[in-house]
A and B are shown apart, each in its own frame.
Chain A
């Protein structure tokens, strides 16, 4: 590697960046790295790691309450942190572009696409003539895969699909031909197939226009085929920087390994390993290495010295006092599941039709056997949530037949038998809305006890503590109100509320969609434990990696119709339907064989 040549193509150089909150609490510190032109680098971290703060710091922007206090950022030779006023404004967008996470809120709903593009271009190159502007915009739109005709330019953001909106965000960034583009989880809100297309477009553009890209994500699997290098962040520090193959093949930092082992992967069926504990919040960093409290390899000196980012192998840096050296291979496994052959399935659905303002489910039939986990898979709009809600008793305008344990099951929960009501439980998708903000955790959990079983007082408290322990929450949490809890904790309380009713069938609706990977892994592990204890699971998800990790059988839905169903190995290994094949192809995977 010719060092001289590499230096001249260096687009971004960050040295000792430090961002603080009020009161000198650091969110980011000692961050140093560089990017070359045309290179795509992933910045991986969980929530609270500081990755979004780093991303916006590259545009000299910090969120409310945070400040960039020290460090150097050089973009194409210009010192970003010393720019003022007009020069800074031009640098934002012109030198460094930004693509936000949620295109639906990042685009002004009152302005047309054409207006947005034109004003962006003119804000940086006001001298351009009318014809040149139109030409540049047209070229950029074609580059990102959008139509460049007048009719499209006259549309408003709400008239576009999610994928189109994100492409518009790409266009807004690329039209200025910046040297560096920062992307903040740009495909989180998109379907798997759309995500794949957008990533392919991004890669093509970066290569052809020689633009460096920093891709912030929490999911390593997504960027496996996209990036050249990976940087891993934990608690505000870079803990590992390596080339792609090096990182996936032989990760040196224990956290990186643990992260890779916790990511659900469609090609591997093995128990996901959760990382015990949780990342420290800003201001609560322990002395020494921040990951030490959770690390299995921790030594005495790890609690005293904060490890610096040092060279580990060629072009591979790690911040650890005892980095791992063995390579790590993630095999594609084909495990087998021995199904219990029961005479009657626990839950039977026949010919179900569900409608809201229009029909969302068409003639859906399925059966769930006792003790198994059935995954309902589909993209947005497939009707999988409607199906789960109908089974739980929350559906409106339902027609068809539901049978539970051989007996007919009413569509509305209120009309069901009390036995059926407590045996079929549902865990919602959004943990922030699933708990009554005016009740303590203890009250939320003891209410069903009194309602179903008439248990109150000391015995109820005993049961509450027992169920909290089952979901790995401290008993002291019963005193707290939901708004003091994190998303993962709230979701566990919701699961506890379901468990305390002694269910036989648990319906989970995308319960881990936006939780951190490690938190997700621990919740999935919990569910597997419960399944081993005899619980039947109906798990709704769009992530095939999660399906592979937890499901015994799979049912694929598309626009309200069942496309395919069968055992997980069969559907994921040898899919019959073309749609399933497409889904599997586009699902990110970490497996190397």
Chain B
């Protein structure tokens, strides 16, 4: 299982590059920003000038600075939510797939019930009643995504555990944890990775949507989703205020999406077991 097999697929390369670029932008942006993102420096909806290459927004902030500073929250929250969902969901799914029927049924049923909640509704519900601390939002989004991961992990684990080489390992008497990590896990990794990429995409969409509705980061902090909301009214005057953050959100979502697709394609090509 060499890395070159993955990197050979053009979609994987493109997706990885795009995602990394945007991530770097968001990460290093705050340092690169020429002005403070909350400083009201210029004219409201001011056009681009030498001092402010993208112009000014609805309160006179420098748009470029705000843009550079506005990605961090979306990115770290999407990454955290997707990672939490992956870890929790994979553990539960593996547990379900490899245990006695009772435990399996219980976990599967719990996952099904959670899946009945549309993601956004659940997040809104929690956020509205319990406040909008960032970690709470991350937790809720992770909870919303976890049942999907549980289903996927369970399906993959069952498919793999039914394979004869796992039975051979059991017959040899390998300890359970060793079977889990050496026989089963490597073979379910790929579908989980593909799903992780998808979750990143959905998380970005959902979190920026939340910010747009006003439930995310509180103003005057810079946030791409919030920026879209704030600058709607002045679209015809200063299009960049809405278009720039929208573009960045879209590009990041596209990058993660392509990455996920590419990984899926490579895995299908090398003939891995699909759940």
Contacts and interface: CB of A to CB of B under 8 A. Distances in A.
- Direct touching of A and B (C-beta under 8 Å): yes
Interface of A: 392-394, 413-414, 416, 418, 421-422, 426, 428-430, 433-439, 447-448, 451-452, 481, 483, 497, 501
A421 B172 contact: yes
A451 B165 contact: no
Interface in B145-180: 163-165, 167-168, 170-174
Nearest to A412: B170
Contacts of B198: none
B191 to A, nearest CB: 14
B271 A438 contact: no
Contacts of B172: 413, 421-422, 447-448, 451-452, 501
B38 interface: no
B1 interface: yes
A421 B173 CA distance: 7
B168 A413 contact: no
Nearest to B187: A438
B272 interface: yes
B165 A435 contact: yes
Contacts of A416: 173
26 contacts: A392-B171, A393-B171, A394-B167, A394-B171, A413-B173, A414-B173, A416-B173, A421-B173, A422-B172, A426-B171, A428-B164, A428-B167, A429-B164, A430-B164, A434-B165, A436-B165, A436-B186, A437-B187, A437-B272, A437-B273, A438-B1, A439-B182, A447-B172, A451-B173, A451-B174, A481-B1
B161 to A, nearest CB: 12
A434 B164 contact: yes
A398 to B, nearest CB: 14
B170 A414 contact: yes
Contacts of A429: 164
Given A393-B171, A413-B173, 10 more contacts: A413-B170, A414-B173, A421-B171, A430-B164, A433-B164, A434-B164, A434-B165, A434-B168, A436-B187, A451-B173
B116 interface: no
A394 B173 contact: no
B170 to A, nearest CB: 6
A230 B164 CA distance: 39
Contacts of A447: 172
Contacts of B174: 451
A322 to B, nearest CB: 43
A433 B163 CA distance: 6
A438 B186 contact: yes
Contact of A394 (B165, B170, B186): B170
Interface string B185-212: 0110000000000000000000000000
The 9 closest A-B pairs by CB, nearest first: A438-B186, A428-B164, A434-B164, A433-B164, A436-B165, A413-B171, A421-B173, A433-B163, A435-B165
A437 B170 CA distance: 17
Interface in B216-275: 270-273
Given A437-B187, A451-B172, A483 B270 contact: yes
Contacts of B170: 394, 413-414
Given A437-B187, A438-B187, A418 B171 contact: no
Given A421-B173, A438-B186, A438-B187, A426 B168 contact: yes
Contact size class for B? Answer: 10 to 19
A227 to B, nearest CB: 37
Nearest to B271: A483
Specify which of B165, B182, B270, B272 lies most central, judged by the most chain A CB atoms within 10 Å of its CB.
Answer: B165
Contacts of A426: 168, 171
A513 to B, nearest CB: 14
Nearest to A438: B186
For the residues of B in contact with A, the DSSP-based class is helix
Contacts of A497: 168
B190 to A, nearest CB: 10
B183 interface: yes
Nearest to B273: A437
A416 B171 CA distance: 10
A416 B173 CA distance: 8
Contacts of A418: 173
A433 B183 CA distance: 12
A462 B165 CA distance: 24
Contacts of B167: 394, 428
A579 to B, nearest CB: 30
Contacts of B1: 438, 481
A416 B270 CA distance: 37
A548 to B, nearest CB: 28
B192 to A, nearest CB: 14
B223 to A, nearest CB: 41
B189 to A, nearest CB: 9
Contacts of A436: 165, 183, 186-187
Contacts of B270: 483
A433 B171 CA distance: 15
Specify which of A394, A418, A501 lies most central, judged by the most chain B CB atoms within 10 Å of its CB.
Answer: A394
B17 to A, nearest CB: 27
Nearest to A481: B1
A98 B37 CA distance: 74
A436 B183 CA distance: 7
Nearest to B270: A483
A392 B272 CA distance: 28
A434 B183 CA distance: 12
A113 to B, nearest CB: 31
A438 B165 CA distance: 11
Contacts of A483: 270-271
B160 to A, nearest CB: 10
Contacts of A434: 164-165, 168
A438 B171 CA distance: 19
Contacts of B186: 436, 438
Contacts of A437: 187, 271-273
Contacts of A438: 1, 186-187
Contacts of A413: 170-173
Specify which of B165, B168, B182, B273 lies most central, judged by the most chain A CB atoms within 10 Å of its CB.
Answer: B168
Contacts of B273: 437
B3 to A, nearest CB: 14
B138 to A, nearest CB: 32
A148 to B, nearest CB: 41
B168 A428 contact: yes
A435 B167 CA distance: 10
Contacts of B165: 433-436
A424 to B, nearest CB: 9
A413 B1 CA distance: 30
A451 B167 CA distance: 16
Nearest to B272: A437
A177 B264 CA distance: 48
A253 B39 CA distance: 93
A119 B240 CA distance: 62
Contacts of B168: 426, 428, 434, 497
A438 to B, nearest CB: 4
Nearest to B163: A433
Nearest to A494: B168
A483 B182 CA distance: 18
Nearest to B171: A413
A530 B212 CA distance: 73
Contacts of A501: 172
Contacts of A481: 1
Contacts of B187: 436-438
A392 B163 CA distance: 16
Nearest to A426: B171
A483 B1 CA distance: 11
A567 to B, nearest CB: 30
A288 B170 CA distance: 50
Specify which of A392, A428, A429 lies most central, judged by the most chain B CB atoms within 10 Å of its CB.
Answer: A428
